Chains A and B, each alone.
Chain A
Amino acid sequence: MLLQLHEPGETPAPHDDEGGLAVGIDLGTTNSVVAVARDGKAEVLRGEDGRGLVPSVVHYGDDGSVVVGEKAREAILESPDHVISSVKRLMGRGLEDVKSLAGTLPYSVEVAPEGGMVRLKVAGRVLTPVEVSADILRAIKARAEAALAKGVDKAVVTVPAYFDDAARTATRDAARLAGLEVLRLVNEPTAAALAYGLDNAAEGLYAVYDLGGGTFDVSLLRMEKGVFQVKATGGDAALGGDDIDHAIAEHFLAERAERLGEQTITAGEAKQALMVARIAKECLSRSEGGEWMIEVDGKPSRHFLDRATLERLALPFVGRTMSICRGVVADAGVELSDVRGVVLVGGSTRMPLVRAKVAEFFGRQPLADINPDEVVAVGAALQAEALTAGSDTLLLDVTPLSLGIETMGGIVEKVIPRNQPIPVAMAQEFTTYQDGQTAMAIHVVQGEREMVDQCRSLARFTLRGIPPMTAGAARIRVTFTVDADGLLTVSARETATGVEQNVAVKPSYGLSEDEMAQMLRESLEHARDDMARRVLTEAVVEARRSVLAVKAALRADSDLLSGTEQQAIDAALAEVERAIAGTDRDAVNAAVERLEAATKGFAEKRMDRGIRQALAGVSVETLGSALDGGEE
C-alpha cells in the first residue's frame, strides 16, 4: 500500500536567503553548550578559551550590566547577591514547587503578587527565570555568531524528557525573548542518542542515563528503521551533581565549625564551601584523594577528602538514580536483557562510582566516547541540521507525564496518559453536577497521582454559556491536544449546543501573553524589527507556496486556459515574485490575494475536469500525476 502513494511532498532544500543558521543548544542547569552541524558532522562552538561549556550563571551588575558564563561564576564569591545560577530548576515553577529547594538556592525567591512563576531578586531587580534563561541564551547566541561569523536565529533547544508543560513553555518563551526561533524542543536523551549515531546503529532498545548538575533523566529509546521512539522516561527534576556538592559542602562545613568552634555558618562560607566541594568532587573523578581549603573573613580551614568518603556521601543520590532506572524499565514492560546499549550523559557521569553502578545495573559497559557534557548539544545540532536540510531520521516523542482534569472531590481524571506518542489529541466527556449549572470550572493538571493536590496545576479556565439543564444532562467534551514539542492546548465544548472554548494552556506558572509582549518590548532594543521580520518571513513563506502551487497547476493543466487567461495569471505571478523581493508585508499579502483572484476561474475548470474524468472512470490515483510534485 505504501508504494502506491505519491511522494511529491518531500521537504525541499531550504532557501538560503531565508535567514541565519540553525544551531543546537543544550540549555543546562549548570552548563550550556552550543554546537552546529554541517553535512552531518557536528562541532561544538567554543569560546576564546577553547572551552565548550558556558556556565549557566548570570551576573547582574549595579550598573545594569549582564555577564554570563565563567566570569559570572567567579563572581559568586565576591558578590553572591548579584549572581543567579541553576535557574533551570525554577523554569515554570511556582513558590510551592521550590520550597523543597529552599536553602539550596543562593538567592532569594518570591512570588509575584498575582501568583504564578517565581520571581528572583537580584541586584535590586526582580526577574523571572524565563528572563534569566533568555540572558543565557543571548550569550550562547552571541558565542555562536562570533564563532560562525554569521547570524544565528534558529535553534533546536533540548529539555529534560521529564520537563512538564510549564517548563517546556518557559524554555520556548526564553528562546523567543533571546531572538531565537525554536525549531523543535528535543528531549536531552534523544539528542544524546542521535549524537552517538544510534539512528544508524543496530536496531533495538537503548538506555540513556543522564546525570547532570541539577536533573536526572533516564530514558529507554527504541531505534528501528531510522525512527527513534522514546519508549519510557523517568527522572527527577531536582537530583544531580549539585546535591552531591551540597553533601560534600555540609561535610566540610561541619568539619570547619568543629575546628573553628563556630556555631553559625555565614552565607559567604556556604557559598565557598559549595564551590570547593564541586572542585574536590570533580578532582576525585581522576585522583584518589586531596586536600582543599576554605577561607572566609581571613579564617582558613583545611579539609581532606578521599574517594571512599566522597562515594559514601554520593551513594544515596546515585542509589536514587538506580531505583528510578528500575522503575522505568518495569514501566516499559521490558527486560533488562533487551537493552542493547547504554549512553552516558551529563558531567556527573564522569564519577567512577556512577559508571560502576550503571555498568552493574545494565550488565554492560556504557558508551562514553563523546564528552558527556557536550553530547546533548552535538545531538541537538544534528537535529537542527536535519530539520532545516531534511533527513531520514525521525524523532517520535511521548508525553512525559499524564495530563488530566480535576473532578468532584479533588480526584484527577486522566485525559492523556503518560508515554503516549505525540502529537496526540484525546477527549473525555464530563457533565454538570448541579441543576441549572451554566458554567463549569476546568482545572488542568499534570502528574501521575490520583489526587489533584499531589499533581501539578497547569491551568484553570471556566466554560460558560452552558444551557441550564438538570444535573448530569449536559455533555461537556474536553479535548487535550499535545503538539510535537510536548506543548498542550485544551478546548472544551458543550456538545448539545456547541458552546466552545479554546485555550492554549498558558501554565499557571508561566507568563501571560501580555507579560511576554512586555518583556519582548523591554528586552530587545530591536524587538520591533524582530517582530516585523518574523511577520514578513511568514508572509513570504506563504507567498512562495502559492507561487509554486500555481506554477505546478499550470504545468499540469495549462491547456484549459486561453492565451489571455494565461497572461493574466502570469502577470499576477510576476507581481507576487516582485513583492517577495521587497520588504513590505502588506504588498506581499495583497499580491497573493490578487493571484488567488486571477486563478479562480482556472481552479474551477480544473475541478470540473477532475470530476468529469472521475465520472468517466479515469482512476483518481492518476489524476494530474503526470508531474512529480510542485518543487522546482
Chain B
Amino acid sequence: MNASAAAAILPCWSCKGPVCGRALFCSVCGAVQGPNAADHFARLGMTPAYDIDIDALERQYFGFQRRLHPDRFAGRSGKEKMLSQQQATSLNEAYETLKDPLKRAVYLLGLLGRAVDLSACGTISDPELLMEQMEKREAIAEADTVEAITKLSASADADVIACQCHISAAFNAGDLDAAAELATRLKYLTKLAEDARARKGRLMRGA
C-alpha cells in the first residue's frame, strides 16, 4: 500500500519536487501537471456506475474545465499551455463518454472486464432485433406527414429511454451479459431515434 503510494510520487516537471501522480497542480510551485492515467469516472470525480447524476457530472466537468482549460493559461509558458490542452482534451473525452448513455454503458462494461465492440458488428446477429429494426426503419422512411413522423419519433425516443432503464437494472443486478446485449440494442434504437428526428426535421422544413 505504502509502496504503491511511493510509486505514485512523480517529479514535478517545473520545480522538480515530489508531486502526487493524481494531482492536477503541483502543490509547491503551482504548475499544471499532465493528465494522469485515471479512468473517465475518476477523472471527473464520479463513482463508477451506470446511474449517474448528470447534473453532478456536468458540475464536475465545468469545475475542472474552469481550472484546466487553455484559456486559463494564455500568456503562460509553452509547456504549461500544452499540458493544459492535454488536460482539457482528456476532460472532454471523459465528459463526452460519460454523458452519453450508450457510450457510458460500453465504457463501463469495458472497465468491468466485459468489453463489447459496437463499432465492429455492422450486422445484427439477433434475428428478432433485426426484424424489429427493419420494420421500424421502413415505417420511418415511409412516413410522409409531420403527424405520422412525430408519432414515430416519439415512440422511438420512448424505446430508447426504456432500454436505458433496462441497462441500468442489468448493471444493478450485476448481470453484465444482459447489459452488453442491451447496449447493442440501445445502439440500434438510438440510431432509429436519430433517423426519425432527422426525417421529422426534413418534413418540417418541407423537403
Contacts from A to B (Cβ < 8 Å): 1-2, 5-11, 14, 18, 183-184, 224-227, 323, 326-327, 330-331, 333, 386-388, 390, 392, 394-396, 420-425, 481, 483-484, 538, 541-542, 545-546, 548-550, 552-553, 556-557, 599, 602-603, 606-607, 609-611, 614-617, 620-621, 623-625, 627, 629-631
Residue of B nearest to A556 (CB): B28
Interchain CB contact under 8 A, B205 and A326: yes
**Given the interface contacts A330-B201, A388-B75, A549-B15, does A421 sit within 8 Å of B62 by beta carbon?**
no
Residue of B nearest to A541 (CB): B77
Alpha-carbon distance between A1 and B78 when the two chains are bound, in angstroms: 29
Residue of A nearest to B5 (CB): A614
Query: Which chain B residues in 43-88 approach chain A with CB under 8 Å?
Result: 45-46, 58-60, 62-67, 69-80, 85, 88
Other than the given A326-B205, A606-B16, 15 more pairs (CB < 8 A) read A7-B67, A8-B25, A184-B71, A323-B205, A386-B71, A394-B65, A420-B92, A421-B92, A484-B71, A553-B17, A557-B28, A611-B6, A615-B6, A621-B20, A624-B19
Query: Which chain B residues in 117-166 approach chain A with CB under 8 Å?
Result: none
Number of A-B residue pairs at CB separation under 8 A: 198
Residue of A9, A387, A614 touching B2 (CB-CB under 8 A): A614
B3 at the interface (CB under 8 A from A): yes
Residue of A nearest to B62 (CB): A227
Give chain B residues whose Cβ lies under 8 Å from the Cβ of A2: 45, 60, 63-64
Q: Could you give, for residues 16-53 of chain B, a 1 whenever the CB lies within 8 Å of some chain A CB and a 0 otherwise?
A: 11111011111111111000000000000110000000
Interchain CB contact under 8 A, B75 and A545: no
Interchain CB contact under 8 A, A387 and B71: yes
Give chain A residues whose Cβ lies under 8 Å from the Cβ of B85: 423, 483-484
**Given the interface contacts A388-B74, A552-B30, does A227 sit within 8 Å of B18 by beta carbon?**
no
B8 at the interface (CB under 8 A from A): yes
Residue of A9, A423, A542 touching B32 (CB-CB under 8 A): A9
Q: How far is the CB of B18 from chain A (nearest CB, A)?
A: 3
Q: How far is the CB of A552 from chain B (nearest CB, A)?
A: 4
Alpha-carbon distance between A224 and B65 when the two chains are bound, in angstroms: 13
Q: How far is the CB of B203 from chain A (nearest CB, A)?
A: 11
Alpha-carbon distance between A615 and B32 when the two chains are bound, in angstroms: 25
Interchain CB contact under 8 A, B29 and A630: yes
Give chain B residues whose Cβ lies under 8 Å from the Cβ of A610: 9, 17-19
Which 9 residue pairs across A and B have the least CB separation, nearest first? Answer: A610-B18, A1-B45, A603-B16, A330-B201, A629-B30, A8-B30, A549-B15, A9-B25, A630-B29
Give chain B residues whose Cβ lies under 8 Å from the Cβ of A333: 197
Residue of A nearest to B58 (CB): A224
Contacts from B to A (Cβ < 8 Å): 2-3, 5-6, 8-9, 11-12, 14-20, 22-32, 45-46, 58-60, 62-67, 69-80, 85, 88-89, 92-93, 95-96, 197-198, 200-201, 204-205
Interchain CB contact under 8 A, B204 and A326: yes
Alpha-carbon distance between A288 and B73 when the two chains are bound, in angstroms: 52
Give chain A residues whose Cβ lies under 8 Å from the Cβ of B204: 326, 330
Give chain B residues whose Cβ lies under 8 Å from the Cβ of A331: 201
Give chain B residues whose Cβ lies under 8 Å from the Cβ of A611: 6, 9, 18
Interchain CB contact under 8 A, B92 and A424: yes
Indicate the member of B66, B88, B89, B96 with the most A CB atoms within 10 Å.
B89
Alpha-carbon distance between A104 and B91 when the two chains are bound, in angstroms: 45
Q: How far is the CB of B64 from chain A (nearest CB, A)?
A: 7
Interchain CB contact under 8 A, B23 and A396: no
Q: How far is the CB of B139 from chain A (nearest CB, A)?
A: 20
Give chain A residues whose Cβ lies under 8 Å from the Cβ of B66: 226-227, 392, 394
Indicate the member of A327, A425, A620, A621 with the most B CB atoms within 10 Å.
A620
Alpha-carbon distance between A542 and B64 when the two chains are bound, in angstroms: 25
Give chain B residues whose Cβ lies under 8 Å from the Cβ of A483: 70, 85
Alpha-carbon distance between A326 and B202 when the two chains are bound, in angstroms: 10
Give chain A residues whose Cβ lies under 8 Å from the Cβ of B88: 423, 484
Alpha-carbon distance between A621 and B45 when the two chains are bound, in angstroms: 16
Q: How far is the CB of A475 from chain B (nearest CB, A)?
A: 15
Give chain A residues whose Cβ lies under 8 Å from the Cβ of B76: 541, 545
Residue of B nearest to A557 (CB): B17
Interchain CB contact under 8 A, B18 and A183: no
Alpha-carbon distance between A225 and B71 when the two chains are bound, in angstroms: 17
Q: How far is the CB of B14 from chain A (nearest CB, A)?
A: 4
Interchain CB contact under 8 A, B197 and A627: no
Residue of B nearest to A8 (CB): B30
Interchain CB contact under 8 A, B201 and A630: no
Residue of A390, A420, A541, A624 touching B27 (CB-CB under 8 A): A624
